[in-house]
Amino acid sequence: MLVGNALPQADAQNLSRYERQRRERIPREALIERSSVESTRGPAGLRRFRWDFSRASDKDFGGWPDNWLRYDGSGYPNYVSIQIEARDRELEKAVLPLDTAALRPWQKLRRLYPELSPLPPSMADLLVDRCLTIRLDGGLARVESPSLPANPTFQYQFSVDVRTEGLVHDHVFAQVVFQDAEGNELGVRETEHVTKTTDWTTLVLKDLLPPRKSDRMYVRLMVGGGEDGLEDITGKVGFDNVMFRQFPQLKIATDHDLGVYLPGQTVVVMSEMLGLSNEHTRLRLRLYNHERKTLGTFSRAIDPVEEAARLLAEEAEAEESLQSERPGEGEDDEDSSVADGASPSQAGVELDGSSSLRYRWDLSDLKPGFYRIAASMENERGASLANETSFVVLGRITNDPAEFGDPSRSQESILGLPSLATFQSESDVIDPTPFGWTVPQEIMERHRKGKLRERELAKWMQLVGIGWAKLPVWFGPDESDHADAAAMLAFRLRDLGIQPIGLLDQPPEERLPAYQLREQSDTRVANLLRDESAWRPELEPLMNRMTTRIRLWQLGADEDQSFMGQSNILETLERISTGLQGFGQPIQTMIAWSWVDTRPESVGDSWRGLHLHSPSPLTAAEMDAMLDREVKAREEAVMAGGATAARLPATWLTINPISRRKYDLDSRISDLVLRMAATRGHRVGAAFLSAPMEEDAAVLTRDGRPDELLLPFRTTSLLLGHRTNAGSLRLQNHSDNIVFRGETESVLMVWSDSPNLEHLYLGENVYEVDVWGRRKPVEVIQHEGRRVHRLVVDRVPKFYVGIDQSLADFRMSVRLDRTRIDSLLGLQQPLGVRFRNPIKQSLSGELAMVAPDSWRLDAGLKPWNLLPKESNQVDFGVTLENNATIGAYQLPLDFRFETLPPTLIRVHRTMSIGPDGFDIRVSTRLIDDDQGGRLRVKIEMVNHTNRLTNFDCLLFAGRERQYERRVLVLPPRETVERNIDWPMGGQLVGTRMWLRAIEQDGNRVINHSFDAQP
């Protein structure tokens, strides 16, 4: 007993002043009185708390707000000045003499009126606005308010005014901390950060919901250092008007915690209102789609007396039901809270602060898509409160029966196995889609606390298209239950075809001293795993439990590239892998690497490869270029004989979405989909979202529910994950597209920077899927005498599933043997069409070239025959008529296949007509001359040959104008320009003009038409 009593006393003596005061337990009922806060109640009885750092906050005139605390830990020196100052120092100087002058007459008044205070009212206190000022001097600062009562029945809005001056590295923000009655921290919310020089601005935290069991809350006013570790030695920060506003709490949720619904399921929306006052209120619920279009509404007028009576009646009914289950009890009880014969509205009951009103709204027959439910509560004074939740309804976007779960797999396939059972065999290989996530810590925490069971979490991950899951699993050595839970989750994931990856990112903060870091602030993984004698006792007990289920591990987060630059990296990683393996199963490891840094040429037995990460997301084109460059470098090394036979590193990528604050929704969706698609054309093992719960990423909300990009991720993952880039089709209207080849079905992805329309035949049984998972048949029409699919194309990619891959391969094989025909009028020139039979059967048919009217062909239709996998060329003779103009032509090629029934497809190839060895360019502009303007036509010709050539140029501007004539003499390898000015040029703008250039001493005639532009 003596030792037990002495230890806490000794500990208390070692605590700093800050720690002693923060740990002091003040009774809840005394918090407001001890807080020196201005506390008021609004018309509905709701509280407002405010610290304005006025004289009322500094009753002892000490320049420090009463009962506030200053954190004095490492890095927070006391020499950094923090005190209450006037926001306008000049005004304070002007007013203080008035206070001094009032002292003498005030003493005379006190002789007449002794009840007056010793000092007169201060004009400075009345007129001068004060704030808490921090003057920086190379250190950090943290100031904490007294605690205030927090009630989970209500929600709060927090705000603080901030001003910064001269900051370069430091950033300023505020935190709201919730605690239980024992002082345990339950949650922290943080405002946005302010830096540089910023005038007074208000930082706001809306919808502050105290965690369950919250008893009190307080504020931290923070000045933190830069990400590079540097701190400002000069600068000034001001805080003012620290405020909490109390509101009734409006909760909105659905019956599925994670907000994912299968087709046909009814979505049950549940709203709950807490902390209501006795005011008439209206509840409104609105259903929105991803475009914020209203799809449905629910409205309920709430009369407080009626609702209170309803709650009382429900309680009475529940009590009667309970009584009926207890025979002989309560039969003679005549006491009732509602008198006989009185209606509920006459009973005099009313709502109190603990009343909870719940309403339900069932939504059925919803189409696949992303939905929001917005709830609002409005009272008669116009005050309103709003909240929002989201959910998705999945669509069946594939023909795979396992899309929503493998029907052949037992849902209880691993029940009954011991908690540390290993894989059945090493050959138990899964084939996940190559897109994954780093599972958010918040989700893992919910799982460890039993709020999400393994089966529920694994099933959710399968439904949203996750193929690889990085699980943050760095625990303390005494947290074996956490390790077992992670191991069981990993088994569940593998059971559903998802590859689990153990992520060793950061150990628990309280365990950091055990790792004996050289630099305490540098907690990157290479430093944490530097000393095996330090980290092995910490990790071995856990790894022995987890490596039986998790064979693949990543050392460090995706942005932790601390292993880069180590000279003996291969030996280091092999040693770490062996140590982590311990007495468990053999493991393989991955590390993070920079896109721009030189990559290792080979990996070891345990070290598997690299996760490539860039702080700023790369575009799809940049990813393509970087990965192509890697392939080219390896090919060059092979050609030079420098390549080794060692195993190449596996490649993983980060594909984090671009910022929702900077880009619109369509841009963000297109960017994510195109980057996911880009990985399917390269040797990429997996691509990951590293922070799906970040607000800026818009994949999950902070409570783990769906956000805007969840469905686009799922759709792309499921449709492209097991398919590879087979090339692109050249479409008539130039829409961008990629063909993805699959084992059983192929997919065409199409998009365009501007709205577009394409017509082509894709095969039978083709259907369209948009990024929201909505599936529909593709419209089939007759177009130019052919049966084709009509594709409506826009910025956001669409997927056409089940296309005929052999037709796509045939289309992509069609080539012209040249891209340009010389502008020799009246002379026949050859033009060949090459194509290949992509299937294992013979093909035959006819080819028609649909030439412009100014062309003459030797034959409009020519037969062809191809053996399996054989290539062929069909030649046409092309003669240009007298009116043939130079320029680019879209040349339609119609292929008729002798099938039952016959198949007819059209492909388009670009063909240019122009003088061989010469280029001609024409431009126009309108020159103001106060007489209707002069239209200047600039003719520019380039001679690429080694001979002197003359062209006689005739320029026509319609029948009502005389043509103009110029002769251009073109020396070898030179460019010549001529200008022709037309009077009254404004009349010519928009008309079609014609240039005819005749080669002297030659047989070329160049016809070129163009529109006159101002």
What strands lie across the sheet with 775-777, from one edge to the other?
A: 724-727, 736-741, 746-751, 798-803, 767-769, 775-777
- For residues 699 and 711, membership in a common domain is answered with yes
pLDDT tens for 911-935 read 999 888 899 999 999 998 877 789 9
Give the residue, 132 or 616, on which the prediction is more confident: 132
pLDDT given at position 600: 85
What 8-state DSSP symbol labels residue 860? S
pTM over 0.75: yes
Please report whether residue 839 resides in a domain: yes
Question: Which run of H or E residues covers position 21?
Answer: helix 17-23
* Whether the predicted pLDDT of 480 surpasses 50: yes
List Cα–Cα distances, 200 to 84, 142, 161, 195, 664, in angstroms.
16, 19, 6, 12, 29
What 8-state DSSP symbol labels residue 367? P
Output the domain CATH number for residue 684: 3.20.20.80
* Domain finish residue from 792, 808, 824: 808
* Whether the predicted pLDDT of 546 surpasses 90: yes
C-alpha to C-alpha distance for 91 and 89, rounded to whole angstroms: 5
- For residues 957 and 979, membership in a common domain is answered with yes
**Residue 691 half-sphere exposure, CB side, CA atoms within 13 Å?**
15
* Whether the predicted pLDDT of 620 surpasses 90: yes
- For helices 569-581 and 532-546, angle between their N-to-C axes, nearest 10 degrees: 50
Output the domain CATH number for residue 164: 2.60.120.260
Closest CA to 163 of 237, 229, 219: 237
Q: Which amino acid is at 832?
A: G
* Whether the predicted pLDDT of 20 surpasses 60: yes
* Whether the predicted pLDDT of 241 surpasses 50: yes
Handedness of CA 84, 88, 89, 94 (dihedral sign): negative
C-alpha to C-alpha distance for 587 and 426, rounded to whole angstroms: 12
- For residues 203 and 70, membership in a common domain is answered with yes
- For residues 61 and 75, membership in a common domain is answered with yes
* Whether the predicted pLDDT of 10 surpasses 50: no
* Whether the predicted pLDDT of 331 surpasses 70: no
Three-class SS of 638-704: HHCCCCCCCCCCEEEEECCCCCCCCCCHHHHHHHHHHHHHHHHHCCCCEEEECCCCCCCCCCECCCC
pLDDT given at position 272: 87
* Whether the predicted pLDDT of 574 surpasses 60: yes
DSSP three-state, residue 599: coil
pLDDT given at position 113: 80
Q: What is the mean pLDDT of residues 325-354?
A: 41
Q: What is the mean pLDDT of residues 256-285?
A: 88
User: DSSP string of 163-195?
Assistant: EEES-SS-EEEEEEEEE-TT--EEEEEEPPPB-
* Domain finish residue from 229, 247, 265: 247
pLDDT tens for 103-154 read 778 887 878 888 877 777 777 778 888 999 999 998 999 999 999 999 988 8
- For residues 697 and 762, membership in a common domain is answered with no
pLDDT tens for 484-539 read 999 999 999 999 999 999 999 999 988 999 998 888 778 999 999 999 999 999 99
* Whether the predicted pLDDT of 7 surpasses 90: no
**Are the C-beta atoms of 505 and 557 separated by less than 8 Å?**
yes
List Cα–Cα distances, 364 to 269, 285, 286, in angstroms.
11, 15, 15
User: DSSP string of 114-140?
Assistant: TTS-SSPPPHHHHH--EEEEEE-SSS-
**Are the C-beta atoms of 774 and 290 separated by less than 8 Å?**
no
List Cα–Cα distances, 983 to 614, 928, 1013, in angstroms.
59, 10, 15
pLDDT category at 555 given cuts 50, 70, 90 is very high
List Cα–Cα distances, 72 to 25, 167, 656, in angstroms.
20, 22, 38
Please report whether residue 102 resides in a domain: no
What strands lie across the sheet with 1005-1011, from one edge to the other?
A: 964-970, 949-956, 992-999, 1005-1011
**Are the C-beta atoms of 414 and 495 separated by less than 8 Å?**
yes
Asked if the bond preceding 901 is cis, omega within 30° of 0, the reply is yes
pLDDT given at position 14: 64
Contacts 24+ apart (CB under 8 A), 894-900: 894/786, 894/847, 894/848, 894/849, 894/850, 895/810, 895/814, 895/835, 895/845, 895/846, 895/847, 896/845, 896/846, 896/847, 896/848, 897/843, 897/844, 897/845, 898/843, 898/844, 898/845
* Whether the predicted pLDDT of 354 surpasses 60: no
pLDDT given at position 223: 96
- For residues 475 and 569, membership in a common domain is answered with yes
- For residues 874 and 947, membership in a common domain is answered with no
Total of domains in the chain: 6
**Are the C-beta atoms of 799 and 748 separated by less than 8 Å?**
yes
- For residues 799 and 834, membership in a common domain is answered with no
- For residues 739 and 713, membership in a common domain is answered with no
pLDDT category at 280 given cuts 50, 70, 90 is confident
Closest CA to 932 of 987, 890, 869: 987
C-alpha to C-alpha distance for 729 and 25, rounded to whole angstroms: 72
pLDDT tens for 727-772 read 999 999 999 999 999 998 999 999 999 999 999 999 999 999 999 9
pLDDT tens for 807-865 read 999 999 999 999 899 988 899 999 999 999 999 999 999 999 999 999 999 998 999 99
Output the domain CATH number for residue 377: 2.60.40.2550
Please report whether residue 6 resides in a domain: no
- For residues 292 and 259, membership in a common domain is answered with yes
- For residues 612 and 669, membership in a common domain is answered with yes
Q: Cα angle at 953 between 948 and 956, to 5 degrees?
A: 170
Closest CA to 620 of 797, 874, 846, 393: 797
**Residue 884 half-sphere exposure, CB side, CA atoms within 13 Å?**
26
Please report whether residue 321 resides in a domain: no
* Whether the predicted pLDDT of 339 surpasses 60: no
C-alpha to C-alpha distance for 465 and 611, rounded to whole angstroms: 20
Output the domain CATH number for residue 747: 2.60.40
Q: Which residues, at least 6 apart from 8, have a Cβ–Cβ distance to it below 8 Å?
A: none
Please report whether residue 266 resides in a domain: yes
Q: Taking the chain, what is the end-to-end CA distance rounded to the nearest angstrom?
A: 99
Output the domain CATH number for residue 971: 2.60.40.10
Please report whether residue 116 resides in a domain: no
C-alpha to C-alpha distance for 993 and 987, rounded to whole angstroms: 12
pLDDT given at position 323: 64
The Cα diameter of the chain in Å comes to 126
pLDDT category at 336 given cuts 50, 70, 90 is very low
Domain coverage including residue 520: 435-721
* Domain finish residue from 914, 929, 949: 914
**Are the C-beta atoms of 676 and 657 separated by less than 8 Å?**
no
Please report whether residue 986 resides in a domain: yes
DSSP three-state, residue 808: helix
Please report whether residue 876 resides in a domain: yes
- For residues 802 and 840, membership in a common domain is answered with no
